[in-house]
Amino acid sequence: MQTDGFRWLAMLPFLAVLSMPVQAGRHDPMYVPEPIDVPAGVGAEIVHKAVRKALFDAGFSSRDIAAGHTEGKRIKSSSRNSYFAVVRVDYDSKVVRIRYKDSENLNYDAKDNTIHSTYNRWVRNIERRIRRNLGAY
């Protein structure tokens, strides 16, 4: 009987590892959105507002760096860890481009161009919202 107790005790570290979230160390190919074509007749100021609204609605804070250049940052915290992503959105009256700028604890690997699936989900959300705000499907 005592050996069964020791066997279970010895298995605890392995069980703890198995119970960790499946995505904790996940590396997916980084999603890089295609440029979003701005519909004809839409000015740069309307594009700027569409970008800022999309970032806000997707849970990102934003700041304008220069004309045609806005950065968005999303921070997520839990009791176990915190992580963030920063995206760069460049735009004019013809096209909008969303690019990776920085992240922490999202398993970014520049060599393999991989990152945690959370980042990809966030960027797809921004892209979808910008398209909707501009009517650019």
Q: What is the domain-level CATH number for residue 44?
A: 3.30.310.80
Give tens-digit pLDDT for 3-15.
665 565 565 555 4
The total of structural domains in the chain comes to: 1
Residue type, 18: L
Instruction: Compute and round to an integer the Cα radius of gyration of the chain.
Output: 21
Q: Write out pLDDT tens, residues 39-72.
A: 999 999 999 999 999 999 999 999 999 999 999 9
Is the pTM of the predicted complex or chain greater than 0.75? yes
Question: Would you place residue 17 in the very low, low, confident or very high pLDDT band (cuts 50, 70, 90)?
Answer: very low
Is residue 40 a part of any domain in this protein?
A: yes
Q: Could you tell me if 96 and 90 are in contact, meaning their C-beta atoms sit under 8 angstroms apart?
A: yes
Q: Which domain holds residue 79?
A: 27-134
